Structure formats: C-alpha cells, structure tokens
Amino acid sequence: MLDGFRKHSNSIIVKALFFLLIASFAAWGIGDMLRPAATGNSVATVGNVDISAQEVFNDFQREMSRMRQLTGDQGVNEQLSLAIGSSVVDRAINKALMSVSAKDMDVAISDEQVVKSIRETPMFQENGVFNRQRFEQILFSNQLNENQFIELVRGDLAREQIVSLMESGSSVPESVVKELYKHRQEKRSASVVRIDRDSVGDVAAPSTEEVRKYYDDNINKFMAPEYRSVSLLHITPKDVADTIDVPLQKVEDAYAAHQSEFVTPGHRIVEQMVFTTEEEAKAAAQSIADGKSFADVAKDLLGLEKDALLLGDVTKAELPEELADPVFALGKDEVSAPIQSMLGWHIVHVTQVTDEVVASFDDVKDKLHDQVALEMAADELFSISNTIEDTLGGGATIEEAAKKVGFKVSTIEATDKTGKDTSGAPIAALAGQKALLEEIFAVDIATEPTMKDDDQGGYFMVRVDGITESTARAFETVQESASAQLLDQKKQAAAKEKATSIVAAVKSGKQLADLAKESGLEVTEKTGFTRFDAPLPASVTTALFAGKVGDVESGADEKGFVVAVLKDIQSMEGDQDQAAINALSREMAAGIKNDMEGEFVNALRGRYSVSIDRGMVNRLFVQEQR
C-alpha cells in the first residue's frame, strides 16, 4: 500500500491522470464512486456509503483495455482479470476512505480552487499559459469528459488538504541528503576479465558413481512434492443458476427495474470555441449569425484550425452541467448562443445528431434471464450449503450429501500445492482456486469436511482421501539431470580456480592484460559505474567501492567468474549538483510523507467499516470476461 501511495504523490492533477497516461495500477481511479447506500449494485461499502459497481467496472474496463494494448491484444485469463479487478477495488476503497474522512472533517473545495488547479497544470499549458484545446485533447484521448475531470480534481484537492497536514513531518536534514547523494553518485572504473565456465577447457563428464554421490548428498534437489488425493464438492453460482427455472415474470420485472441500463444514450458530435469573456463569445456568435462558418470564426478570432475545435462524440451525461441541455437542444448544424461554464464562455456547433436507442425486451431477455438466474442462485446456494451441512451432521458422507442436493462429488487422484498432477499438468478443477488448494493442504485425512466460501461467490468442501508424502525421486529418473548439474558445478569450480590464479598473479605484480592474453581471455574496461548500475557481481562491486586503486577482486556471476582490477575512483567530495541534491531531498520527503499516508489509510480502515462483496467482484471481473 505504501508503494501505491508513493506512485501518486506528485502534483494533484498529474496524480489524477497518471494512471491513464502511464497504465499504472496505483492511481486514484475516476468518477464519483460514492453513491447513497442500498442500491443493491455496490461492490464494496465504506462506512455508510457504497462504492458503485458500475463505476468500478468502468475503471476495470479501462485497465483491461490498457493491459491488452500492452500485451498486443492477447487474452487475459481469469486469474489476471480477478487480480486487476481486486486492485481496482482496493484503490477505490482507499479513495473512498480519504473522501469520507475529508467529508467528516468538513473539507470543502470551491469552484475557483478547481479552476486554478487545472489552469496551473503544466500538462495543459503551452508556453506557460493554459491551452484549452490541449486540455480537451488529453481528456478526450483518455476517455474522460470535462465534468468527470472537474469532479475528480475536486475530490483530489479535498484529499490533498488532508495529506498536506503530513508534509510538515516529512522533511529530511540536509546532511543526511548529502550523504545519500554521495553514496548514490560516487563512481568507479575497472578492468574486467570474464571467465565463462563453458569455455574453461575440457572438463570430464562425471562418472555414474560421482553422479550417485551427488544425488545422495543433494537429495533435497530431487524430491517429488507432496501429493494429495481428494474428494471435492464445489458448487458455483453458475452451477446453481443452470438448474433454476426462472419465471418469465421475474425476467420482465428485471427489465422494468433496470430499463435505464438498456438505453444507449443519444450523442452528438460537437465542435466548440471557448473564450475568456462574454463579449468575445458574443462577437463570435454574431459573426456566425452574419454568415461566417464556425471554422472561419475560430480561425479568425482564436487562430485555431478545424481539427482543434472537435470536442468529440459525447453523450449528455459526459458534458458539463452548464453545456448539457443547451447542446442537446441543438439540431444538426446548429450553433449555440454563448454558454458560461467554470472554464469560460463556450460557442458550440453540433455537426451530427444520434438519437437515443432503447433495447427491447426481446433483445435482452436472454442476458436478463442469466442475470436473474445468478441472483436467484445466490440465495439458493446458501440454502444448499445449509442442507449439505445438516446432512453431514446427520452422519451422511460427502457423496450422500451432494446427491441429496443434486450435485456430484469429483475425485482428484493427485494434486500438489500448486494444483498440478503428477505429470506437472494443471488440474482444471483447481485452476484459479486458491481457497480450495489452501484447504486441501490444510486438513488431514481424519478431518470432517465443512462447507467453505471459495471467495468467488461459491461454496466447496473437500475430503482428503490420501496423502503421498514428499519423497525422493528414483535415481534412474533424475540421473540425467543430476549429471548435468554436477558437470555444471565442475565447470564452475574450474572457472573459480582460473579466477583465483589470475587474482594471485595480479597481486604478485603481473598485469591483468598479460594474464588474459596468456589464457585467451579478453579485458574490457568498465568506466563510471555506480553501486547501482555496476556490470559486475554484487560481491565484486561492494569490494571495489570499499577498496583502493589497484585492488583486484573476483566473484561468481551467472555464467562463470569475473576478475576486476580497480582503476579509478570518482568521489563526490568536491562540487556537487545542488539541483540533484534538492531533487533527492524532495524524493526522500515524498517517501516519508507517503509512508505516513499509508499509515493514515490503514488507520481509516480501522475507523470506518469496510466490506467487499466477493460475489459481485467475481461477477464483475471474471464472468464479464467470458
């Protein structure tokens, strides 16, 4: 969590946009997620307010879209989908906690504060001046409308007021900053010889006797995992939904109750000009009324080309409140009178009109049927789980209890802790089922099975029928692997021996270049590296930064051994980059501040009740991907 706060600790507006522009998982999210409780469509509750499932899902869809862009539009499996969704929910909860806290503290943000923050954001400026067109283009390209962004900024400003109280305790003494700066920035240069273990000469393959001894001495490397055979009863909402006969009336009632969800809102393609004063806007409107085209007026008065005028294809809800009604009152090719908003005076031109479309009952009845079945399944599933528990309490077996409620117990012959069988193949019934796997390896053979929540809206119980303890794999089955490992060790030992001899020779006064040439090796010069970007093994780097010019060190890397002779020390005792020191000071202060923010959010979780509807999470982030 502390890392999450650290990622969005900069300016308020940049914090609001970074998750859109850099595909980060740790932003605040967008939109107003706080809705009155009891909507029945919440994914989580913070205090007495709900976090809207629709808003969370919209945020999730944006994350999924960015994920697909990053992965070349490859598919996203259910586990990753659920992980992304959980991350979205978690940040929504953090945002809600801060917002609820701000409300309780009576933190209020004026329109003037919002406008000032937006206009002062460098991202929206050109030559130091707020550029309306750049602002609109950034919002449009990131699927944000002006109204959403204004409310987002308002919320972030409120939260920032709370966070700013922590800044006074986050300063770092200059002496500490300078010491860290020197530690980070001092550099070394070294002459380096690499000894590849695969090129040290002929190393004899180990004999069977040697391999056998290696196997015996390193038996832990050749252990098969513990396997368990289990009987599993796992009932998901989908399983139950498939058995439910949904009355047509319930589907019709659902259509009536959620009709707004089946409306594709009307939208308009809109161009606009924005002026600072009403007089400028009126002059533009008069020029258009006199016969000039919208584009020509924009060119003459604002110096804008036609492409810069496009606000986009927008719905009424996506427009600021002041613009919504006037824009949607216009017909195709009509131009508005001047309209005032928080950001200036607008002249709007509608170039295309698309009317609202309402999906008929027949269009959506199948989807509604499935949704109603899932809703009914939640209640039915709870009843089924109680019936199973009662049946087991009466002495029945898990198979008998399952049969009574119309389900079957499946048998898994062998699974390890990762959900794989003895061949290493994943077991379908356990894929993505963390709770099931944890239970399988938490109970003993004698443990009475009990119903458990699978954290995805379903219930399960397991009976462990057998345990195959972790045992050593037969020598014959791993002999080839053991032989390869031992040969690799022998080659590494030969590389180490060579490196040791070179180190000794250098210490006796010989030159590294001469020694390398004798051995058919190459010397490379590594210059100006720091502790953090050194192209050397960590042990060698540490020794070089503690040593003096002329010191020689060796150490193992992933390919063999490295020998390095220290050639130059660049300390930071002289002139230092004050700008870099100041930046480091800000970085350290931000780190302390963000740690404090994390602790504050943890405290808020203790102050306000937080609950998550795991069933809703599953429906939003897994079933929606099917």
DSSP string over 144-190: --HHHHHHHHHHHHHHHHHHHTTGGG----HHHHHHHHHHHH-EEEE
Can you give the CATH number for the domain in which 24 is found? 1.10.4030.10
Residue 218 lies in a domain: yes
pLDDT at 68: 65
Can you give the CATH number for the domain in which 302 is found? 3.10.50.40
User: Residue 265's closest CA among 200, 220, 318?
Assistant: 318
b/e map 93-120, b = 16+ CB within 10 Å? bbbbbbbbbbeeeeeebeeeebbebbee
Residue 254 lies in a domain: no
Q: Are residues 9 and 76 in the same domain?
A: yes
pLDDT at 344: 85
Q: Are residues 427 and 564 in the same domain?
A: no
* Interatomic CA distance for residues 225 and 321, integer angstroms: 63
What does pLDDT average to in each consecutive run of 10 residues of the chain (626 residues)? 34 35 30 34 83 82 70 59 82 85 82 88 85 79 75 83 67 77 87 92 90 95 95 92 90 87 90 91 94 93 87 85 92 94 89 93 91 86 90 91 93 95 94 93 90 89 94 94 94 94 95 93 94 92 94 94 95 71 79 78 85 78 55
Which are the contacts of 620, defined by CB distance < 8 A and separation ≥ 6? 43, 53, 56, 57, 60, 85
Indicate the SS3 state at residue 195: strand
Q: Residue 317 corresponds to which tokens in the numbers above?
A: 């809800």
The residue among 421, 436, 469 that closes a domain is 469
Q: Please say whether the beta carbons of 231 and 399 come within 8 A.
A: yes
Q: Are residues 19 and 128 in the same domain?
A: yes
How many H-runs (helices) and E-runs (strands) does the chain carry?
A: 22, 22
pLDDT at 170: 62
**Total structural domains within the chain:** 4
Q: What are phi and psi of 290, to 5 degrees?
A: -80, 0
Indicate the SS3 state at residue 346: strand
Residue 366 lies in a domain: no
pLDDT at 490: 94
Rg (CA), the chain: 33
The residue among 443, 469, 495 that closes a domain is 469
Residue 560 lies in a domain: yes
Query: Does pTM surpass 0.75?
Result: no
**In 22-167, which ranges are continuous DSSP H helix?**
53-70, 78-104, 111-119, 132-141, 146-164
pLDDT at 164: 72
In this structure, the dihedral spanned by the alpha carbons of residues 412, 415, 420 and 425, taken in order and rounded to 10 degrees, is -50
Q: Are residues 37 and 126 in the same domain?
A: yes
* Interatomic CA distance for residues 549 and 442, integer angstroms: 57
Which are the contacts of 340, defined by CB distance < 8 A and separation ≥ 6? 278, 322, 346
Expressed as residue numbers, the domain containing 391 is: 227-239+375-469
* Interatomic CA distance for residues 587 and 253, integer angstroms: 56
Indicate the SS3 state at residue 618: helix
Q: Please say whether the beta carbons of 257 and 249 come within 8 A.
A: no
Residue 178 lies in a domain: no
Q: Please say whether the beta carbons of 544 and 565 come within 8 A.
A: no
Q: Are residues 421 and 512 in the same domain?
A: no
Side-chain half-sphere CA neighbours of 271 within 13 A: 19
Q: Are residues 506 and 558 in the same domain?
A: yes
pLDDT at 463: 95
Q: Are residues 307 and 331 in the same domain?
A: yes
* Interatomic CA distance for residues 179 and 581, integer angstroms: 10
Can you give the CATH number for the domain in which 385 is found? 3.10.50
Q: Are residues 52 and 108 in the same domain?
A: yes
The residue among 469, 488, 504 that closes a domain is 469
Q: Are residues 561 and 451 in the same domain?
A: no
Q: Are residues 328 and 383 in the same domain?
A: no
Residue 486 lies in a domain: yes
Residue 362 lies in a domain: no
pLDDT at 23: 29
* Interatomic CA distance for residues 104 and 481, integer angstroms: 64
Beta bridge partners of 230: 412, 464
Residue 369 lies in a domain: no
Q: Are residues 97 and 9 in the same domain?
A: yes
Indicate the SS3 state at residue 456: coil
Place of tokens 């002459």: 191
Q: Are residues 504 and 589 in the same domain?
A: no
Q: Please say whether the beta carbons of 140 and 313 come within 8 A.
A: no
